[in-house]
């Protein structure tokens, strides 16, 4: 059985979905040969309308934490 959070608002659900898209895009771009984190950050910022590179790092950290928590049994 997995942990579930039944008290998520529609806004929270939308934000988590966007965060997951950002993290997946970042991982996909970084997997390309010769990819540089600065350029990938800039690409993700432009694509998703993010205004600060530190937000990319925060999003990736948040997604990683959430995925680990969801994978652990109750």
2 φ/ψ angles, rounded to the nearest 5 degrees: -110, 155
Predicted TM-score of the model (pTM): 0.83
Mean pLDDT of 38-67: 95
pLDDT at 4: 59
pLDDT at 1: 46
Residue 74 has pLDDT above 80, yes or no: no
Mean pLDDT of 56-60: 96
Q: Are 60 and 26 in contact (CB under 8 A)?
A: yes
Q: Tell me the C-alpha distance between 20 and 47, whole Å.
A: 14
Structural domain boundaries in the chain: 10-71
pLDDT at 2: 53
Q: Are 44 and 35 in contact (CB under 8 A)?
A: no
Q: Tell me the C-alpha distance between 4 and 7, whole Å.
A: 9
- For 9-24, the pLDDT digits (tens) are 999 999 999 999 999 9
């Amino acid at each position: 059985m997995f942990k579930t959070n039944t008290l998520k608002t529609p806004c929270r659900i939308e934000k988590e979905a966007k965060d997951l898209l950002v993290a997946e895009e970042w991982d996909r771009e970084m997997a390309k040969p010769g990819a540089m984190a600065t350029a990938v950050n800039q690409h993700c910022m432009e694509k998703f309308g993010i205004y600060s590179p530190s937000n990319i790092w925060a999003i990736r950290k948040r997604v990683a934490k959430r995925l680990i928590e969801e994978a652990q049994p109750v």
